């Protein structure tokens, strides 16, 4: 599983989101993430400028704005639980 963190330069909420994301991923060996700086992509800026930071899995927004590790952890745990059904 691979998550995306949409962020910008000089964004305190984005810095906090990265910390929360790392906390949420602790204990999940098969989950990683990539940081995507929307400052370099006009399309992403247009869509997410006022929403960042944004945590996504595939095309689904998991959380945006103020990010907390619990919501991300809960999403990942639920994802893997449903895979086993």
Strands 2-7, 32-37: pairing kind: parallel
Q: Is the pLDDT of residue 82 over 90?
A: no
pTM of the model: 0.89
> Which tops the pLDDT comparison, 75 or 80?
75
pLDDT at residue 84, as a whole number: 61
The residue range of the domain holding 31 is 2-82
What digits encode the pLDDT tens for the residues 14-62?
999 999 999 999 989 889 999 999 999 999 999 999 999 999 999 999 9
CATH of the domain at 77: 3.40.30.10
Number of domains making up the chain = 1
Torsion from C-alpha of 72, 73, 76, 77, nearest 10 degrees:
-150
Asked whether 36 and 5 are in contact (CB, 8 A), the reply is: yes
């Amino acid at each position: 599983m691979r998550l995306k963190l949409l962020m910008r330069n000089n964004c305190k909420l984005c810095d906090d989101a990265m910390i929360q994301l790392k906390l949420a991923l602790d204990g999940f060996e098969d989950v990683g993430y990539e940081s995507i700086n929307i400052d370099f992509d006009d399309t992403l800026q247009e869509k997410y400028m006022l929403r960042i930071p944004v945590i996504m899995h595939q095309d689904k927004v998991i959380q945006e704005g103020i990010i907390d590790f619990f919501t991300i952890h809960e999403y990942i745990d639920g994802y893997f639980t449903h895979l086993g059904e």
